[in-house]
Structure formats: C-alpha cells, structure tokens
Amino acid sequence: MTISAEQMSQWCQTMLAGRAAAPELELVDYLDAVPRLDSLADLPAGTAVAIRGDVDAKPGAQIGEGDIRLRSMVNSLSYGRDRGWKQIILGHIGRKPEGSLAKVAARIGQILECEVPLITDWLDEETMTISAAAADQIKSSEPSAVIVLENTRRYDIERALWKATAEDVPQLAEKLAKFANEFSEKIAKVYVHEALSAGSQDASSVVLPAAMERVALGNYAASEFDGPMRKCLETQLVVFSGLKIDKLDDLEVMINRGTIRHVFAAGSLAMALKKAIGEIDGKPCCLGLAEDPSHADKPYYIPAERIEQAIQMIKSGREKGIEFVTPVDSVIEDGSIVNQLQPDQQQFDIGPKSSELFEERVGAFLATSPQGAVAFHNGVFGMFEDPRFEAGTKRFISQLQRMTDAGVEVFVGGGEGGKALERYGQADWVTHVFTAGGTVLNALGGEPVPYLAALRAAVQRGVARV
C-alpha cells in the first residue's frame, strides 16, 4: 500500500505529537488495537516479511553471552520459518552510523542453526531507492530464509525524525514516503515488530508500517506487554530513581492511575520531591549544585518548574493517601556523608540513614499489603559504577528479594536497574526483569510507545487486519 507525501506528513505529525495526538488513550488501548503474529497465519510460503528486530546486541564468544535480545526473537522467527516465509530482519546497533550487524547476523545463524546472510549496501540515499542487488537477493532466496539488513542507522533517513519538529515534517515527508514505498515494493509488504527496546522515533519503527499491507506485533514483544507490562499497571509501590528529571512526568502519570500508595525516590527525581516536601511543610532544604542556575546545562540540574510540578504531585498524592519516601542523607563527591547538602555540593548516592529508612518503610509496606501486591523498581540510587557510590543501590537490591519472599510481585524496569540486580543479586530475587528500560517507562508513563502508535495507526489506515 503506497503512501503519498501528504499522507506521510500527517502520519509523522501524529508520531511526533505523542500523547497529545490521542490523550485519551492508555497502553491497553494501543495493545488491544494491534494485531498479533497469529493474525498472519494465512500468509503463504515464500512471502517476504520484514522483522523489525531487537538486534542492538554484542554477542559474546558463545550462545548465551550478550545475545539475550537476539534470543528473544527466536519464537517469532521460528514461527515464520515453519510457514516458509522469507524473513528480512532490520534494526540498528548502537547510535553510531558506522556500527555493523555482521556479528549479530552470524549469531542469529548460530541460534537458528541456519545460514543468515547480511546485506550491506541496501539503500541508495541519493535517490532514496532500494538497491537492485538487495531486492534481487531477497527475491531469489528460498522459502524459510532469514536475512539481515545492515545497520539502519547508517542511513540519515533512519534518524530523520529524532530531532524533528512539526515544522520540519513537510520538508521530510517526501523522502520518508519514498523510503517507505520503496521498502514495501522491493523488500517486504508485511511487517512484524519484534524489537521491545526500540523506543526511538526511528524510521524503521514508526515510518515503514505506513506503507505495509499487513502489520503485527511479534510474540516476544506481545508477551512482555500482555503479561508483565499490564501487571505493572497495578503497581502499589514504585521505586523511581536516576539522573533524568523528566522521569517526573512518567511518575506523575503512574500516580494518576490510582493504584500507587508508596513512592520511594532517589537521584534527581528524589531531589525534586524532597525540595517540594520541604516547601509544603515549611522546612526548606538545599539541593546543592542541582539547583544552581550556573549548572543549568548539566543533566543533574533541576529547574524551578520541575520543583513546582513536584509540589503539585506531593499535594495531590497526599490527598490520595500516597506516602513519599525520599533520602535523608547523601554521599557527596569526596565520599563523605552529609545530612543536608550545601550549595557547592552534589549528591552521588544516598547515605546509610536513607537506606535504613527505605528498609523500614518496605517493612511497613509488607505489613499492610495483601498477598500478590505489585512493586515496580526503576533505576539506581547513585553513580553505582563507582565503588564509592554503590552502597545505596547495592543495599536496596536485597529489599527486592525481601519483597519477593513476602509474596509481592516485583518487576524491574531494565536498564541500570537490571544491571544492578545482575551485579548485586540474582534473577530469581524478582518476578521479572524487562530488557528495555526506556520502552517500559514510555509504556507505563506519560508517552505512548512510538512503535505501538505506528502499528495502531497502520490498523486505522486499513493496512492491517486484527
């Protein structure tokens, strides 16, 4: 199904608008609208199917090392191979254009026990056309073949929407439409999204579905959303931490769902909440360099509008009976511990008093929560990569096991939280660890997952059957 430049412009405006394009929709609405892999069961052998894969991996020496994302694709790839589809995997590795998927293609071949060739130069960006060699190789491949296209981020078109604004879209629409139409005509007209972690506005994730005849969500991605992700919507206790203050938006949306009763916070998010609590309770506190305007260009800086946002969250949350637990001491740059930050100091970890407080409040949560309660843990408590600032994170990981042993379903949002669990604990200390931290925050927070929005839009456009 071809798409015109005008239609592509409207499509991209919707993608870039995010939640503003459909503020009434929640995660479950997107999931209920998107077809699953079984909807493609009628496709005949020999059909070319594009698989947007989770190929951002660094395979180690043998299967099982550094390839968890590749192994997550096996079920969907096997489904297609059993039906004789020609599956063309596309995706990126890292953010740098020069990265190659050569090792990834080789590892996929090892996992599937078949040859998986890599097509290197598959797009001519000057003419925005798929190369004849790439098209011929796919056309001449045998049924059940699996092929990998080289790193999509080698091409500027893949990254065209990363920093684009609504005003930029009309100038990009013609090229994006040409790219999508060429792909549909010469690579595949059927598209399966099996890249749980692909949360960016990549053209391969949010543009290509517009020109497809059929689209679907892969088995692994669907299982993550339909199982643990939906369960996280019932969270009663949330642990939110990290350097990015924009997580405050995600926390706000999660709180507004009405299930959360306990918020444990660390990092920049906690600094904003702590400042807000001080303002409300008439006990002002200093956030150190985090509120110094001369550090406004730093990632740890917390602008005044974020404090105001936190104030409103605390007031609203307290009315709902929500408990907010924030640090009461900090580890600063020289490794010393202070109860109150001074203007020239920066927090690098929570202190021991904060850890004691968190443990005490976890105990209170367990004493009052029913069996099967849900907890969601995201992020780390400090610069845990440095041994001087790992104590807070390391100590709290054991609390995840404590909650699990008490019958709480504990979910870890991937990213650094997943790394911390791997470093300081064991996988069976929690119910589930996601492999895609950013996607999980989008799904549970304020913005729709871009590729779910694209798949739903494809359904609305009539290119897919549920």
- Please state, rounded to an integer, the average pLDDT across all residues of the chain: 93
State the amino acid at position 215 in one-letter form: V
What is the rounded average pLDDT of the residues 382-411? 93
Listed range (38-42, 152-156, 446-450) with the worst mean pLDDT: 446-450
Say if residue 266 is in the same domain as residue 391.
yes
Q: Are residues 257 and 215 in the same domain?
A: no
**Torsion angles phi and psi, residue 445, rounded to 5:** -100, -140
Q: Are strands 146-149 and 86-90 parallel, antiparallel or unpaired?
A: parallel
Contact 180, 207 (CB under 8 A): yes
| 440 or 91: which leads in pLDDT | 91
Instruction: State yes or no: pLDDT of 466 exceeds 80.
Output: no
User: Do 413 and 434 meet the contact criterion of CB atoms below 8 Å apart?
Assistant: yes
Q: Which two tokens stand for residue 395?
A: 């100590």
Start-to-end CA span in the chain (Å): 17
pLDDT over 60 (residue 231): yes
**pLDDT at 465 > cutoff 70:** no
Q: What is the pLDDT of residue 267?
A: 85
Structure tokens at 144: 């059940």
CB 335 within 8 A of CB 344: no
Tell me the two tokens of residue 50.
């594009």
| Domain presence at residue 395 | yes
Please give the Cα distance from 308 to 310 (Å, whole number). 5
What CATH number corresponds to the domain at position 19?
3.40.50.1260
pLDDT exceeds 80 at position 74: yes
Within 10 Å of residue 460's Cβ, how many Cβ atoms?
Answer: 11
Same domain, 110 and 243: no
Q: What is the pLDDT at residue 50?
A: 98
Residue 436 lies in a domain: no
Residue 146 lies in a domain: yes
Does 188 lie in the same domain as 141? yes
Same domain, 51 and 84: yes
pLDDT at 464 over 50: no
Give the tens place of pLDDT for each residue, 167-201. Answer: 999 999 999 999 999 999 999 999 999 999 888 99
Same domain assignment for residues 212 and 251: no
pLDDT digits (tens, 9 = 90+) for 319-330: 999 999 999 999
Identify the CA nearest to 52 among candidates 223, 192, 237, 196: 192
Rounded Cα gap, residues 43 and 215, in angstroms: 12
| Same domain as 277, residue 195 | no
What mean pLDDT is predicted for residues 440-450? Answer: 85
Residue 331 lies in a domain: yes
Q: What is the pLDDT of residue 446?
A: 74
pLDDT of residue 95: 86
Residue 339 located in a structural domain: yes
Nearest to 397 by CA among 415, 381, 374: 381
Do 150 and 10 lie in a common domain?
yes
Tens digit of pLDDT for each residue in 208-219? 999 999 999 999
Q: Are 215 and 35 in contact (CB under 8 A)?
A: yes
Q: Which residues contact 464 (CB under 8 A, 6 or more apart)?
A: 35, 39, 212, 214, 215, 216, 455, 458
Tell me, yes or no, whether 398 and 252 share the same domain.
yes
Cα-based distances in Å from 28 to 3, 24, 34, 219, 254: 28, 11, 10, 17, 14
Percentage of the chain modeled with pLDDT above 90: 82
Look at residue 457 and tell me if it is in a domain.
Answer: yes
Residues 196, 75 within the same domain: yes
Classify residue 414: in a domain, yes or no: no
Query: Which residue type sits at 42?
Result: D
Mean pLDDT of 54-71: 94
Range of the domain at 349: 237-368+370-407
DSSP notation for 285-351: ---GGGG-GGGTTSTT---HHHHHHHHHHHHHHHHTT-EEE--S-EEETTS-EESS--TT--EEEE-
423 falls within a domain: no
**CA pair distance 464, 466, nearest whole angstrom:** 7
User: What's the confidence (pLDDT) of residue 1?
Assistant: 80
Confirm if 210 and 11 have CB atoms less than 8 A apart: yes
Provide the 10 A C-beta neighbour count for residue 437. 21
Same structural domain, 80 and 110: yes
Count the Cβ atoms, other than its own, within 10 Å of residue 367: 8
- Express each pLDDT in 267-314 by its tens digit: 888 999 999 999 999 999 999 999 999 999 988 899 999 999 999 999
Domain count, the chain: 2
Q: What is the pLDDT of residue 36?
A: 97
**Do 366 and 399 touch, CB atoms closer than 8 A?**
no
Beta bridge partners of 349: 331
CB 37 within 8 A of CB 216: yes
pLDDT > 70 in the chain, percent: 99
In a shared domain, residues 143 and 40: yes
Instruction: Please report the pLDDT score of residue 110 as a whole number.
Output: 97
